[in-house]
Structure 1
């Protein structure tokens, strides 16, 4: 038999075999895995480390080829832009992103969506929110409102004369700051006139301090506000590191334990802080859930072309929040630190 006839015969046999296998629902080649990307603000913050771990675990479970990227520092927009460009070039089906700059990243996100990628913001919405296909996040206003309501109930009659220190992430470039701030103040009973700014005129507010979300920043911010008014008796902290820093500042002047501290995060370190009495009440959020839902949404999009839906009455999907405290107050729903420890994230 000639070489040409041999090749032809083998080709016919191969095609026949493929037809037989196909009739029984068996394929001779596996489909390429769905490609996806996770882009976080940094790769050092425990919150984003947990988010990455959750996304990788869900991706492995669902057979998704997930690549992860992060900014070099909080606010590093260019690294996130570069990461999106890489994801588009790699043929990713979707991107999960915690935006460092909610406005500056929008043109690059639009480019990705035009290329057919599903883009989901995690934790922090883009500006406008509609710039992403969906946002999976904590209701930051609600998280702030919970600790505000608890603080008002805790102080009781003293609430009307409270002296409040507001420890924010970044006053000049807010992301979740305003929603959490305003939620806390609304829960405490302070009227909000302008929903877009920090400037809430009220005699109870001693001032706002920028912390960068770090313990060092929290300590410096607390020292600055104590110098302005040493009679501060309530501290609102954007996150747990800022709260821990505030506690150190209060401890250095003999006020630890005499000032109420509330925060938002719900990490395992934060829950331990509640157990130890460093933080009095903490709104817990769930980055593992955000990451897991995000990966599932990309798989659904890649297979069926279906986008995720927002929670009823909102322009994002609310991943939930619960108040953790060892001192529950009537009328304010909460769980104790032992229950919070079962749901916490990070170390």
Structure 2
């Protein structure tokens, strides 16, 4: 199914569920309830946000209802409809994909429920505020580090995330900006691996078979970088392959420490969750919140990875 037909199908589903008829906010009932719609709890990044939102929400006396779309946009449409009928006061929303990601935002706003988009922001229907890493700046910094490490000469492959999503678009833009300054770096392969380690392994293995001279692989998430490292190991390419990731999740950080991957960009994931709760409470109280709240990431190598591991929940 192409993106346009998939979007039409989800729009039809949303209409059939009666999104516009969702119950109004329940703030008058005296208990603040926030819905947290997560893209996929199999990913450590999203699990960290979940833990942060739930822990901080409890500190603030907020009831948090969490749902996991398991990577499926249609499932998420159903889940958010259910959250709206349960009279949530605000929605913290991590879209499960780019296709029809704006449907739940429009539904929530029609019901008078503010939306805090985290990590991914539907371009056609953005949340009331968007909280994320400044992925473009971080990926550009990572690209500049790779240019320096390779002295501007390399054969490079990229493992992309879910195409069309906010972080994928931003990371591609920032990284490409840095690499463009080094004409000696040739990008010989660029293919999506959907943020997943197993797909990262399969795609990287195929890339190495077709281009055995690859000596740099950038996985747009740590999971894909770990898959690439496994592919390099079994492919016996006979030369060093520099492997870069992005996220700074626990597995990625340990891989940097152990020399399995060379570098990652560590995001402030737990802080994002707390910011999302604070923004939700401010929006519920009808206070002004910036449309965009971007955080820097930290370039992380073996030299500075230790504190990030020890601080990890």
- Name the TM-score, length of structure 2 as normaliser: 0.84
Distance 1:256 1:65, change over 3 A: farther
Task: Please state if 1:339 is matched with 2:307.
Answer: yes
- Give the alignment partner of residue 62 of structure 1, picking from 60, 78, 91: 60
Task: Please state if 1:170 is matched with 2:152.
Answer: no
Distance 1:112 1:126, change over 3 A: same
Question: 1:114, CA displacement in angstroms?
Answer: 2.4
User: Contact 1:148–1:184 (CA<8 Å) still a contact in 2?
Assistant: yes
Distance 1:266 1:54, change over 3 A: same
Name 2:129's counterpart in structure 1: 134
Name 1:300's counterpart in structure 2: 282
- Give the alignment partner of residue 290 of structure 2, picking from 309, 326, 341: 309
Distance 1:92 1:121, change over 3 A: same
Question: 1:291, CA displacement in angstroms?
Answer: 1.2
- Give the alignment partner of residue 318 of structure 1, picking from 286, 294, 311: 294
Name 1:181's counterpart in structure 2: 172
Name 1:11's counterpart in structure 2: none
- Give the alignment partner of residue 116 of structure 2, picking from 117, 120, 126: 120
Distance 1:262 1:113, change over 3 A: same
- Give the alignment partner of residue 225 of structure 2, picking from 232, 243, 260: 243
Distance 1:324 1:293, change over 3 A: same
Question: 1:152, CA displacement in angstroms?
Answer: 0.6
| SS of structure 2 residue aligned to 1:88 | helix
Question: 1:263, CA displacement in angstroms?
Answer: 1.0
| SS of structure 2 residue aligned to 1:163 | strand
Name 1:96's counterpart in structure 2: 92
The structure whose Rg is larger is 1
Name 1:267's counterpart in structure 2: 249
- Give the alignment partner of residue 81 of structure 1, picking from 77, 80, 101: 77
User: Contact 2:208–2:235 (CA<8 Å) still a contact in 1?
Assistant: no
CA separation in 2, counterparts of 1:35 and 1:146? Answer: 39
User: Contact 2:39–2:97 (CA<8 Å) still a contact in 1?
Assistant: no
CA separation in 2, counterparts of 1:138 and 1:297? Answer: 16
User: Contact 1:133–1:307 (CA<8 Å) still a contact in 2?
Assistant: no
Structure 2: tracts of 5 or more residues without a match:
1-27
Task: Please state if 1:47 is matched with 2:23.
Answer: no
CA separation in 2, counterparts of 1:64 and 1:279? Answer: 39
Name 1:226's counterpart in structure 2: 208
User: Contact 2:139–2:171 (CA<8 Å) still a contact in 1?
Assistant: yes
| SS of structure 2 residue aligned to 1:131 | coil
Name 1:150's counterpart in structure 2: 145
Distance 1:206 1:174, change over 3 A: farther
Distance 1:344 1:165, change over 3 A: farther
CA separation in 1, counterparts of 2:253 and 2:82? Answer: 38
Question: 1:256, CA displacement in angstroms?
Answer: 7.6
CA separation in 1, counterparts of 2:179 and 2:190? Answer: 16
User: Contact 2:119–2:166 (CA<8 Å) still a contact in 1?
Assistant: no
CA separation in 2, counterparts of 1:231 and 1:224? Answer: 13
Question: 1:63, CA displacement in angstroms?
Answer: 0.6
Deviates more, 1:214-223 or 1:98-107: 98-107
- Name the TM-score, length of structure 1 as normaliser: 0.77
| SS of structure 1 residue aligned to 2:271 | helix
CA separation in 2, counterparts of 1:79 and 1:277? Answer: 38
Question: 1:168, CA displacement in angstroms?
Answer: 1.1
Structure 1: tracts of 5 or more residues without a match:
1-29, 192-200, 311-315, 328-335
